[in-house]
Each structure stands twice: as C-alpha cells, then as structure tokens.
Amino acid sequence: MSSQLEQAREAAQSSPQRAVELYSAVLFAEQADGPSVAEREAALLALAALFERMQDAAALTRLINSSQGYLVTVSRAKSSKLVRQLVDRFNGIQGGLQAQISTCQGMVEWAQSENREYLRQGLETRLVALYLDGRMYTEALRLIAQLLSALKKLDDKMQLVEVHLLESRAYMALKNLPKSRAALTSARTAANSIYTPPPLQAQLDLQSGTLHAEEGDFKTAYSYFFETMEGLNVYANSRSVAAAAAASAAQTAAPDFEQQQAQAFAYMVLCKIMMQLPDEISSLFATGKTAAKFREHRAIVALQAVARAQKQRSLADFEGALTEFRSELQADELIRRHLTALYDTLMEQNLLRLIEPYSRVEIAHIAKLIGLPIGVVENKLSQMILDKVLLGILDQGNGCLVIFPETKQDSTYETTLETIKSLSNVVELLYTKAATL
C-alpha cells in the first residue's frame, strides 16, 4: 500500500485524476486487503488537499461524507482532529463558503447521531465562525446561545472563550457595541482562569482593539493591535519549526500568523491616520523586525498613500489612493468603514486649506479647485458653518462664501465667574463650620 501512496503522490502533479483514483483505492479498500490506519489517514488528507488545489468543493464534500465509515473506526480524538482538518480545507477554495457551511451542518448531524458531543461542539463553534463569514448573524446568535448553555454546564473554559469571542464579533457586526463589549468581557474572564494559547490571546487583543476603534478611542486601540502583532510574533518564532513539521506530517495548512500580524500592523497604521498623526507612521517601521518586514505589504503601502494625502490635506490624492488600491482598502471592513469617515474629515481640511487666503470667495471657484460639484461643496460648507468648524456665512444670492475673521476670546469674564464661584464655596464652608461651634 505504501507504494500505491507513493505512486499517487507522484501522479498528483501531472495527472490529478489518476492520483484521486489511487488515493481512493487506499482509503476505501477493504480492511482485509491490509491498508494500515496511518496509510488510510494519509490518503484521506492527501485527497482533501488535492481537491483544494483543484478548487473542487463538490468533490471535497463528497469525500467528507463518504469518509464517515472510516472515521468511526479510529479513536474519537483522532476522528475529531481529522474532521476539523477536512472542513478547513474549504478555506482554500474560492467561493466555497456555502459548501463549507452545508458540509459542516451535515457533520454536526453525524456527530450527534454518533453521540460524539466534543466533536459536535467543536464543529458547531466552527459553524458559528462560518455563519459570521457569510453574514448569517441570526443563525450565528441562535447557535451561540445553544453552545453557551451547554459549555457552561460542562465548564469548558477554552471553548467558552472562543464562543464568547465569536459572540462579540457577531454583535459588533450588528453595531450593538454594548453587547459586543459584554461578550468580550466574558471571554476575558474565562481566559483569566486558564492558560490561553498565544494565537487565541492575540484574537482577544485584536477584538479589543477593534471595539476601541469603533468607539473612537484610537490610542487604546493602537496598544491592543501592537500587543496582537507582538504576541503572534513570539508564538511564530518559538514554534515555527515544530508547526512546519506538524503541518507537513498532517498535510494540512498551518495558521498564517504572518498574515494575521500584517492585519494587526495595518490597523496600527490606520489608528495613526485616524489620530491625525501621519508623520508618525514612518517611525512604526523602526519598532522591530516584525514591523519592518511589512514595509512592502500591499495594504500597508495603500494606507501610507492615504496618510500622504492626509498630510497634504489633498482630497484628490486621497481619491487617487482609493482608486489605485481599491481592493486592498475595500477588502477589510474596519479599514473601509473608518476611511469613509476620514473622507469627510479630509474634505473639511481641504476646504479649509483652499479658503484660507480669502475673506470672500465664490463657491463655484472653490468647487473648481477641489474638483467636486457645486451642490456638494455648498452642502459641506453649510454643514461646517453649523458645526462651527468655519466662521462665516453663505451668500447664496451672489453664490459666495463670506469668511469672518477669527476673534480672540477675552477670558476675563470666565475667569471672574470662576473666582466668584470659588469665593462663594469658601463662604459657605466657613458658614457651615461656624454653625457647628
């Protein structure tokens, strides 16, 4: 049988269909023919990897369903590990999310029929993550409620952390920040009582940073993103050799820690942009080897282009960066959402820069300089005046903007009121003391 596996490996590159036949012959051979458990496992994992490379989600689904007969012959721990590895193979297939959800649902039912509670809960946790990827938030929250009820009875703290983390992500996607923060607090509480693996701790830090960014606290968010990047770096460096060896032996992809680090570093750059500190971005690359290796990463390069446009207060450069790096800036929801808010801020800054030399200027002239329709510019200027960002009025009869000179406020009145208030407090305190004598 080992020679048949060797032939299949050689045929995988030149003739994938021939390799599928050879691997299937080993996997589905009668036990009397003599294939060992290790050989059948190797054939199963190799077939899954081959279908992933062929981008064949239907074949991978059929493989998982047909392998249930083999899975009942191995130990529960081994079968749980194999099922998770097989389901994760859909990650490399483009457009395979729905097939992955359907397959995972089918395996949940199979695990329940086989009375394998640990495997069922693990698959349901994976299914919640898939629901979130597919924006199926109602189904995700319904399954989370069932999982939390069962896990609290079993006191499985590790899986509780994962499910609470998924719950926090679900509520954040629904813009329910209070419930998202409550779920994250529950996850951290459960994590404090157990050893939390660095990748899971990094996910907790990443979610904390994302929540703080949503609430506008970019300074705190930056620190959490930094912890995420450094935590993953320590884990990857200390276990890179072992992880690579294990991945090779199991023929399954290891977690892409470098990609997760790049995401955290991109969020760090985003925080600097949102804090109006584009000059400090260049210094981020000097924070160690971890940051330096992402200098040429496409998402980082895109955010640097946005930072340069922000520094120049140029709306045209900002739109140019959005056009040139559209896929990089639109792929991540957090970056897309905050850059949309930044667009309004940058428009304000650009308008303020253009009207700086004037005390009275035509709106049509401003619209020509900024390259936007007159109606858009007029609406934005009126909003800035109402928000007291700009001192002036719109002379719509003449189509002009009249800018008032900035007046220096005399603080004598406010200071006098504060002094009188302090003296009044002293007199009341003395009166109270005298009344007690």
Q: Which of 8-22, 91-105, 385-399 has the lowest mean pLDDT?
A: 8-22
**Percentage with pLDDT > 90 across the chain:** 27
Please indicate, yes or no, if residue 4 is contained in any of the structural domains: no
Residue 77 has pLDDT above 50, yes or no: yes
In a domain, 309, yes or no: yes
pLDDT band at 243, cuts 50/70/90?
very low
Q: Tell me what percent of the residues of the chain surpass a pLDDT of 70.
A: 92
Q: Give yes or no for residue 343 having a pLDDT over 80.
A: yes
Distance CA 97, CA 414 (A): 62
Other beta carbons within 10 Å of 308: 15
- What pLDDT does residue 1 have? 52
Residue 213 domain flag:
yes
Position 289 scores a pLDDT of 65
Phi, psi of 86 (to 5 degrees): -65, -45
pLDDT digits (tens, 9 = 90+) for 5-35: 778 787 777 888 888 888 888 877 766 556 6
| pLDDT score of 247 | 36
Structural domain for 300, as ranges: 198-237+256-356
Provide the CATH number for the domain around residue 223.
1.25.40.570
Does the residue 298 lie in any domain?
yes
In DSSP terms, 362 is beta-bridged to 400
pTM of the model: 0.76
The answer to whether residue 399 is domain-embedded is no
Q: Tell me whether residue 318 is in a domain.
A: yes
Query: What is the distance between the alpha carbons of residues 102 and 106, in angstroms, rounded to a whole number?
Result: 6
The answer to whether residue 224 sits within a structural domain is yes
pLDDT score of 251 more than 70: no
Domain count, the chain: 1
**223-249 average pLDDT score:** 62
Output the pLDDT for position 287. 65
Q: For residue 286, tell me if it sits in a domain.
A: yes
